[in-house]
Amino acid sequence: MTGGVTNGHDARPHPHDPGGTPAGGGWPGHPAGSTGYRRIVAALFLGGIATFAQLYSPQAALPEIGTDLHIGAATSSLMISAATLGLAAGVIPWSAVADRFGRVRAMATAMISATVFGLAVPFLPQLWMILTGRFLEGLFIGGVPAIAIAYLTEEVDRRHAARVAGMYVAGTSLGGLTGRLIAGPVADAAGWRAAVFLVALISALAAAGFVAMAPAARGFTPGRTRAWAGLARRLAGNLRSPTQLALYAQGLTLMGGFVAMYNYLTFRLTSPPFSLPVSVTSLIFLAYLAGTWSSTRAGALASRIGRLPVLAGSATLFAAGVAVTLIDWLPAVLAGLVVATAGFFGAHSVASGWTGAAARVGRAQASSLYNLFYYVGSSVFGWAGGLFFSWAGWPGATAMIVALALVAIGTALAVLRHATTRAA
């Protein structure tokens, strides 16, 4: 089935590349404006929507989930945690699968399998079944972020790889936004099960678009030997690289701060002096559109002036935006949120793309490790922000978030200035 849907993409080992290596022959990558380039951009954009729409869609319907299943807020939030835990667990194994069977085949299999579980979850009757289904859904979703950056780095002209990485991240941000915005109103009208099912159906259509658009790999040949044989070596090689560790620190700290910002800003807006209803505060996710825009702009800018200035500048913008939300004036809070969101996604698009480009060994594993640190940061600091919020309110949460951003900026300036910073 997988071979059929991918039309044999990535499926033929090269006789001189038995271990799963770059295909050689001096393949320069699809140049900007070419048919292959446009197909990769479209395919990865759709892949971002297909995976992240269903990953986060229950977040907008958590109150309805709690009421329907007779559980509290903390337990209902496991709908998100179970899926992101599955994603974190899956990224490294999926990188090995991609080395063995090919990038496109692995991503197509991951998307199709994830949407199957996404379509099934709303019909499961008991909480433990639902959470198990969400974990497995996340496990398969992990195959896309684990492989996407390696795929585009190998298939696109290096001068434009940062730009395409930005477009992929834009697709992930738009997917997360779409899932939340659709699920909220539908859950109010027809219940959370109908809402989650509808988003999964949209994700299935986007996955079909990915399968139709993704071109066959020319910059990588899957290995005929067991991909697991050298997995530890490839992981260790990346974990010994100061450049990679500094990039992983970007994902860990910035994603942790970003999730904490959205988790606890809602509490700030529903409390005095704002006292907004939850139905209104849910609209803050529209700020994700700023991330959709900044992801593509950051990638294009990095191609011109280098990755480090854009990464450090975007992280600084994120910290500044969070600081602005301290002002007790709603327009200022919303403006700060938009600026912070744009800064975060700009930094993330540069750091994630740089990870694949800088890898000396195990490019897929390098990207998978970035995603592992990224989602660990989401889980740990997204939760820890609540401790600071309970201790000192929004100023306490802001202090933690800004501190994380400063760690990211300091690490980038101290370590990454020794790396090649230009996107080419």
Q: How does residue 342 score in pLDDT terms, banded at 50, 70 and 90?
A: very high
Report the pLDDT averaged over residues 60-87.
Answer: 76
Q: How does residue 222 score in pLDDT terms, banded at 50, 70 and 90?
A: low
| Residue bearing the bigger pLDDT, 111 or 14 | 111
61 phi and psi angles, rounded to 5 deg: -115, 20
For residue 13, the model assigns a pLDDT of: 35
Please tell me the distance from the alpha carbon of residue 177 to that of residue 421, in angstroms, as a whole number: 31
Report the pLDDT averaged over residues 358-379.
Answer: 80
The region of weakest confidence among 152-161, 186-195, 200-209, 365-374 is: 152-161
Please tell me the distance from the alpha carbon of residue 77 to that of residue 18, in angstroms, as a whole number: 45
Q: How does residue 421 score in pLDDT terms, banded at 50, 70 and 90?
A: very low
For residue 15, the model assigns a pLDDT of: 33
What is the chain's Cα-based Rg? Answer: 21
For residue 364, the model assigns a pLDDT of: 67
Grouping H, G, I as helix, E, B as strand and the rest as coil, residue 125 is: coil
Helix H or strand E encompassing 198:
helix 192-213
Report the pLDDT averaged over residues 348-361.
Answer: 83
Q: How does residue 202 score in pLDDT terms, banded at 50, 70 and 90?
A: very high
- Long-range contacts at 321-324 (CB < 8 A, ≥ 24 apart): 322/257, 322/261, 322/398, 322/401, 322/402, 322/405, 323/398, 323/402
Q: pLDDT tens-digit profile of 22-72?
A: 554 467 767 767 888 888 888 888 998 889 899 988 877 766 777 788 876
Q: pLDDT tens-digit profile of 231-253?
A: 777 777 788 889 999 999 999 99
Give percent above pLDDT 70 in the chain.
Answer: 86
Q: Give, in order, the Cα–Cα distances in Å from 156 to each of 179, 215, 239, 255.
A: 29, 11, 25, 26
